[in-house]
């Protein structure tokens, strides 16, 4: 077992998959000689060469569009979108092409492509370097969407994504890159896509989160424990598909649910989870399903007090849990 940061886990997964399979290659802005803006690909070009770790022009449409074609003819590309804020130029290639290739070809073609997307706030990145936009892709059949919260899952989900046959949008939260660390196996392992994880068992209320919000929810659970409240914390980690069975079973047990996401509230991932709980297991609920989300504003503010006001945090989650328990 090796004590590993979140970003080290990503680098390790990329290295091992490129060693394992010669069809795996990477392309992105500054990922080669420079090693990526956050150093996630540091040393990989030196090891695998310029034809497998490709420094691209500043064109997300070119990066992803070229990878769609490469994936269709047998390669396993791993394009990097340096910041989630700039994924929009590649939306046509992702939504209209990659997501629909298997369906439109009747299964004759697939698109085994893993798009790494650096996302998230709480880093003072300001307007165009802090967005988190997983809900744009969550509603698109044909895509897989994941967002790990731990180094173990960061490595295991990335390996599963690269080995799969469908396009994956792999969100990695920049706030977690060097702020979380854990021991992970040095042997080969994967984490199954579509399965959530119980991070903390409890009987009073279910809290569902993903990405950075799992850590904020754990902080809230620790505060509530001192008040005699036991929180069952579920890390979705796989957003599309998501683990209905695990979440439903937890809510059936606790009869209450608080759903936490960093993204804006309207039309988010947790809106779908909330609707599904209400539609399918309403009779088990003792209180309304409640969401804790980012504010519905166009962009994350730069000023630290405003960023703090926008983002969910442990204090906001604790207030929401108390309100649901008092219902």
Q: How far, in Å, CA of 141 to CA of 95, rounded?
A: 9
Please say whether the dihedral angle defined by the alpha carbons of residues 43, 44, 45 and 47, taken in this order, is positive or negative: positive
Q: Which of 150, 4, 23 is nearest to 78 (CA)?
A: 23
CA 134/CA 142 separation, integer angstroms: 15
Per the annotation, the verdict on 173 as an active-site residue is no
258 forms beta bridges with: 207, 290
End-to-end Cα distance, the chain: 45
Task: Collect all residues with Cβ–Cβ distance below 8 Å to 126 and sequence separation of at least 6.
Answer: 300, 301, 302
Residue from 5, 196, 31, 234 nearest 116 by CA: 31
The CA distances from residue 260 to 49, 134, 273, in Å, are 42, 14, 11
Could you tell me the maximum CA-CA distance found in the chain, to the nearest angstrom? 60
CB 302 within 8 A of CB 211: no
How many CB atoms are located within 10 Å of the residue 19 CB?
11
Spot the catalytic one: 129, 173, 215, 308. Answer: 129
**3-class DSSP state of 14:** helix
The set of catalytic residues is: 129
């Amino acid at each position: 077992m090796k004590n590993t940061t979140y970003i080290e886990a990503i680098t390790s997964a990329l290295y091992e998959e490129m060693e394992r399979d010669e069809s795996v290659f990477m392309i992105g802005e500054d990922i080669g000689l420079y090693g990526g803006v956050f150093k996630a690909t540091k040393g990989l070009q030196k090891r695998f060469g310029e034809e497998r770790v490709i420094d691209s022009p500043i064109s997300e449409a070119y990066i992803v569009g070229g990878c769609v074609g490469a994936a269709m003819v047998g390669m396993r590309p791993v394009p990097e979108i340096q910041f989630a804020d700039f994924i929009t130029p590649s939306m046509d290639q992702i939504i209209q092409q990659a997501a629909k290739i298997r369906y439109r070809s009747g299964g004759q073609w697939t698109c085994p492509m893993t798009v790494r997307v650096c996302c998230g706030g709480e880093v003072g990145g300001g307007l165009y370097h802090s967005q988190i936009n997983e809900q744009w892709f969550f509603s698109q059949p044909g895509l897989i969407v994941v967002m790990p919260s731990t180094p173990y899952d960061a490595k295991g989900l990335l390996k599963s994504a690269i080995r799969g046959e469908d396009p994956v949008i792999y969100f990695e939260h920049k706030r977690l890159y060097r702020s979380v660390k854990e021991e992970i196996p040095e042997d080969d392992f994967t984490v199954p896509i579509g399965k959530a994880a119980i991070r903390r068992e409890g009987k009073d209320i279910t809290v569902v989160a993903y990405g950075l919000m799992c850590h904020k929810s754990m902080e809230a659970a620790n505060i509530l424990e001192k008040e005699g409240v036991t929180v069952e914390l579920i890390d979705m980690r796989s957003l599309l598909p998501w683990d209905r069975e695990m979440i439903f079973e937890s809510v059936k047990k606790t009869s209450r649910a608080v759903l936490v996401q960093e993204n804006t509230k309207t039309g988010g991932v947790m809106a779908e989870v909330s609707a599904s709980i209400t539609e399918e297991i309403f009779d088990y609920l003792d209180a309304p399903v409640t969401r804790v989300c980012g504010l519905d504003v166009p962009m994350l503010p730069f000023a630290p007090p405003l960023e703090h006001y926008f983002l969910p945090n442990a204090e906001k989650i604790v207030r929401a849990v108390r309100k649901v328990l008092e219902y």
